[in-house]
Amino acid sequence: MGMVQLFKKKKTQLAMFLLSLFCVALLFFLWQSSRPKHLFHISSSETTIVKLAAGTACAQEPATFLEPETVQKIVKLFNNFTYTKREYYPEHDGNSFTVYICFYSEPVLICSVTPNAVILDRSPYVEPGQQDYIYIGEEGYFLPLFELMGIDPEEYYQQE
């Protein structure tokens, strides 16, 4: 085999290897981007109070939960929330269901929830780049919060 033929063969093998490597990297990227992602990492040991407020502009006084078992259950609900879709959502007027997760009386997270999504606004407790987005997860995931308040989400959102 001549040097030219050997060079062409090695060049072809290198091109095939690089193409294979690119395909593997692309598949990995697509797999990673389609996987559900966690949004919250709230310390359950530092959370002492959870407040849930329902109503237009949170007109009602929030319900306050101090019982450690209930607080931990809510924190776990948020920490286990995964989203598969994120959309820009700068204005979310109308009825809101707001959650305040606090360390003593100082909020560490303030967000609005729907039965299957979280809306992070321009709260100082939210990392830059996460605010003004709605994070959409599993259908009905946050229904336990509505149940804690004795609210039927379908009726609640028809009031808007």
- pLDDT tens readout for residues 75-91: 999 999 999 888 887 66
> Strand 95-103 vs strand 82-88: parallel, antiparallel, or unpaired?
unpaired
3-class secondary structure, 18: helix
What value does the mean pLDDT of the chain take? Answer: 78
Nearest-angstrom CA–CA distance, 38 and 52: 22
**37-158 sits in which CATH class?**
mainly beta
Residue 16's pLDDT is what? 78
Task: Report the range out of 3-7, 113-117, 121-125 with the highest average pLDDT.
Answer: 113-117
Q: Output the CA torsion sign for 15, 17, 21, 24.
A: positive
- Whether 32 has a pLDDT exceeding 90, the answer reads no
b/e for 58-76, b at 16 or more Cβ within 10 A? beeebeebeeeeebeebbe
Nearest-angstrom CA–CA distance, 160 and 149: 18
- Whether 6 has a pLDDT exceeding 90, the answer reads no
